[in-house]
């Protein structure tokens, strides 16, 4: 016999999924105007159709809903992350209204939303295309918010690759010439070539879902380079220089010293 608590939880999830289907995603999916005007979301198009402008608070909510398609949240970071993102989005949307904004009641709502739509590759691509289109259009209500969202989404799920580029490749670090790291350097260059051949390198992981495209970015392909680059980054930002992987700690310290000397 099924556990009553499990049945109740399953029912709540089903109800939430239905609610998200009918409401939130309709706000952010691209929808062309029959009159030839360029609208970058159904929300914007419907507002224009009814002779309405999109209020600043609604623009901030729009941006937050887009971000939450791609952001993994949990119990420990959900509130802080949401408050921080809303603060930034309300600022760029020029929302000066009072009061706290809340879209999801709890982290369970947010996870349900992302699992329902953020894992659908076609939705991820379509929404990103809408955001990139609207940020270039000064006449779009969402241009400033979309610019902020596009910047936030850049290099999504590519942190390992990006930290190596920023802290080792751009400075032309001597670490990259170490013979014992030749395999890792070669793996990073393969990833770099594939990424740079695309029209939108910073959104490579959002636009590509096939295993072959994703596997080139696995942290295991260049773990030492990532660890050294992260330590260099933390030094600049004033963060902890402690290496998470104790097994390669001494090796990372060696290459760190090689770079800074």
pLDDT in the model for residue 243: 54
Per-residue pLDDT tens digits of the chain, which is 261 residues long: 556 566 555 555 444 444 444 334 444 444 444 444 444 455 555 555 555 567 888 889 999 999 999 998 999 999 999 999 999 999 998 888 777 787 898 999 999 999 999 888 999 999 998 888 877 666 566 788 989 999 999 999 999 999 999 999 999 999 999 999 999 999 999 999 999 999 999 999 999 988 888 899 999 999 999 999 999 999 876 655 555 565 678 899 999 999 988
Please provide the distance, in angstroms rounded to a whole number, between the alpha carbons at the two ends of the chain.
67
As a three-state string, the secondary structure of the chain is CCCHHHHHHHHHHHHHHHHHHHCHHHHHCCCCCCCCCCCCCHHHHHHHHCCCCCCHHHHHHHHHHHHHHHCCCCCCCHHHHHHHHHHHHHHHCCCCCCCCCCCCCCHHHHHHHHHHHHCCHHHHHHHHHHHHHHHCCCCCCCHHHHHHHHHHHCCCCCHHHHHHHHHHHCCCCHHHHCHHHHHHHHHHHHHHHHHHCCCCHHHHHHHCCCHHHHHCCCHHHCHHHHHHHHHHHHHHHCCCCCCCCHHHHHHHHHHHHHHHC
Give the C-alpha separation, 188 to 192, whole Å.
6
pLDDT in the model for residue 10: 53
Give me 248's structure tokens: 């390669």
pLDDT in the model for residue 142: 75
CA 237 vs CA 103, 164, 165, 241, 257: distances in Å:
32, 15, 17, 10, 17
Give the C-alpha separation, 114 to 65, whole Å.
9
pLDDT in the model for residue 74: 92
pLDDT in the model for residue 130: 86
pLDDT in the model for residue 65: 94
Contact 148, 63 (CB under 8 A): yes
């Amino acid at each position: 016999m099924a556990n009553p608590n499990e049945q109740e939880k399953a029912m709540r999830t089903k109800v939430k999924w239905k609610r998200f289907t009918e409401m939130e995603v309709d706000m952010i999916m691209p929808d062309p105007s029959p009159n030839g005007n360029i609208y970058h979301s159904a929300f914007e198009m419907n507002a224009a159709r009814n002779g309405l402008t999109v209020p600043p608070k609604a623009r901030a909510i729009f941006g937050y809903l887009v971000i939450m398609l791609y952001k993994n949240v949990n119990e420990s970071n959900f509130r802080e992350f949401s408050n921080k993102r809303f603060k930034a989005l309300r600022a760029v949307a020029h929302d000066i209204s009072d009061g706290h904004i809340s879209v999801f009641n709890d982290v369970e709502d947010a996870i349900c939303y992302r699992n329902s739509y953020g894992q659908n590759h076609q939705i991820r691509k379509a929404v990103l295309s809408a955001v990139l289109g609207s940020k270039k259009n000064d006449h779009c209500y969402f241009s400033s918010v979309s610019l902020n969202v596009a910047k936030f989404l850049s290099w999504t799920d590519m942190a390992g690759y990006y930290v190596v580029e920023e802290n080792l490749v751009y400075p032309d670090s001597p670490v990259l010439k170490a013979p014992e790291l030749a395999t890792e350097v070669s793996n990073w260059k393969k990833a770099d070539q594939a990424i740079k051949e695309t029209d939108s390198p910073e959104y490579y992981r959002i636009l590509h879902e096939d295993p072959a495209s994703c596997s080139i970015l696995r942290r295991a392909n260049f773990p030492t380079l990532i660890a050294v680059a992260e330590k260099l980054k933390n030094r600049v930002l004033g963060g902890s220089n402690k290496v998470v992987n104790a097994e390669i700690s001494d090796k990372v310290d060696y290459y760190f010293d090689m770079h800074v000397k």
